[in-house]
Amino acid sequence: MPETVKLYVYDLSQGMARSMSMQLTGKQIDGIWHTSVVVFGQEFYFGQGIMASKPGTTHHGRPLQMIDIGETFLPLEVVVEYIDSLRSVYTAEKYHLLDFNCNTFSNELCQFLCGKTIPNHITDLPTEFLDTPFGQSILPMIENMFGQSKLTSGSNNSKLTTPQPSAEVASLVQGMSSAATSAAPTTVNPVQIAHTAAVVDGFISSYKAVIVFFTSASCPPCKVIKPDFITLIQEKNSANKQIKILGVIMDTSLALDAAKYRISVTPTFQLFLNGQKYSEFKGANYAELKSQVDILLFEAFPPHPHRKILLRTIVDQPNVPILYTLPGKWDMIYAKLNTFLEKENITLDAGQKSIFDQSKRFLEKTNSTLNMDQWKTFVDSLLQKLSVDQLFPLFDIFRSLLISETVSDFYVNDPSQIVTIMEIASNNKALAKATWLMILKIACNIFANTTLSTIQFTSNLTTSHRAQLSQLLVSSLLASNAQVRQAAASLAYNCSTCIAIERLEKEKGTFSGMAEQEDDDWEVELASAIINALSKETDEEITHRLLAAIGKFVFLAPKDTSSVADLLSALDINSVIEEKKATKVISSSKVLGLARDICEMIKQQ
């Protein structure tokens, strides 16, 4: 199926270029363009490295235009691999407003996806801009921020006159500087040097929390506290890929427009929150500096309500999936599969016999290679020829192979065979326990490969097979067999673990996934099925896994968008838990602690 590719276009000058460019440059420039590419339900753009967001949710706001570039027939896996290959090229340090910017990335990605470039009026804008006296007048400022431009090398731009910017021009320069900083943080370093008020204002408007350290060359206390200031800001950002608080150093003796900030003595520290001045203090007092930074961070990034209550068990839950890794008795399993083949008069040809034996040696670790194309063809053949009840030895082999990185990486590119296996359980109401159990173990073992599980089975991408995984899970939670229910509970736990890992990464500012797992409708669907199963469950180990899954769905859930806690409250999970305690289904300390923590979190909603 083809996938639509769109170019989102934003004006970083917020209309300033359109209204002022003619009188200042002699040319009509309709915008300072920032672009991103939307494909497979994600918006990709170049800023602090290659970034990805839900379309239309970036800090640039609503796009002015959404241009249809065309369609791509490339599969998601190929696109993901290509974008990942560009990450070492498109880094924050290499960003240049004129030479290597968001439009450079968008152009390259569109050519890869559709064989088409983005509109020329976007890519030609830097050259067009520099061919004006005004462009030349602000070129030094741009090069001071981003380094020397390649566009000026060997050009005739040096012949143009470069008048001193007027007050009106300075206003536009300030807007452009702010826009450029917003488009791409100039570096991943959380401490920046600013020589003009325009650059400082750009930082203030681009980051949620900013502290500006006003210093001067003749200030001994400034020299004393400067190293502590730098260390403190670096420490506050050390666990984050995204900058939580930006430190800016301005030498008031060098910045001609520093008077704007009304600095009477140095050192002076001004703190800004969401673009507005939050507080100010004077003097080289490290204790005060640290206290003010901590208060600003608390206001900018208030902790989740769950972090304010004592949750002894929830926070200690391991964020690793439950996998079925125990090796099988391969001689017996392969013999059983051979028995079924003989019973159905299925004779393997030379190639099938070879891959059959090769898979056994691979599992026994006597052979390090497995031809995956031949293996997939072999499995497809047996899925057609064997009855559903005869497939369990094949699936036992399959679930063990899936633990291998070589095998799971193969299915990242084409998970259709795994989907077919999952659908066997969903489409057969009278499924034999052995086959059902092995299908669930296969589903659990896909979580051994993060890319396979997240992109292909738990993400909200349109190409994801989450619906098939969910159907398997929901239909298995109420099985009459306890082993099947336990495997289903393990699968529920693995799904919730994907959510938990993403939330923790977001809390730390380290999330960089391209396919978000957070989806309220999906979580509500699974939570509803889990609480229904929990109300009927009589086995404590299964109950433990179900509660652990619920706990992960609730813990650190987005305060404004998650409905899971409300659902659990409406379904009266407290009464369900109390009934389990009364009937001794919940009796061990670890399960009691988990139940208590869930009830505490529900109370906080």
Supply 543's token pair: 């109950």
Partners of residue 10 on adjacent β-strands: 34
Cis (ω within 30 of 0) for the bond into 126? Answer: no
Active-site residue 102, yes or no? yes
3-state secondary structure of 432: coil
Residues 329, 332: Cα–Cα separation, whole Å: 6
Q: Which of 34, 60, 96, 306 is catalytic?
A: 34
- DSSP single-letter state for residue 304: P
Residues 182, 59: Cα–Cα separation, whole Å: 8
- DSSP single-letter state for residue 163: P
Answer whether 527's CB lies under 8 Å from 567's CB.
Answer: yes
Q: β-strand 42-47 against 268-273: which pairing, if any?
A: unpaired
CB atoms inside a 10 Å sphere around CB 253: 12
Residues 576, 571: Cα–Cα separation, whole Å: 9
**Residue 605: which residues within 8 A CB-CB, separation 6 or more?**
565, 566, 569
Active-site residue 495, yes or no? no
Residue located via tokens 């969401």: 274
One DSSP character per residue, 22-78 reads HHHHSS-----EEEEEEETTEEEEEESEEEEESTT-STT-S-SEEEEEEEE-S-HHH
**Residue 103: which residues within 8 A CB-CB, separation 6 or more?**
33, 34, 35, 118, 122, 123, 125
In angstroms, what CA-CA distances link 443 with 203, 420, 449?
47, 11, 11
Residue located via tokens 């909200």: 460
Residues 99, 103, 108: CA angle, nearest 5 degrees: 100
Torsion of CA 391, 392, 395, 399, to 10 degrees: 170
Residues 199, 203: Cα–Cα separation, whole Å: 6
Q: Which of 59, 60, 96, 102 is catalytic?
A: 102
Active-site annotation, residues: 34, 102
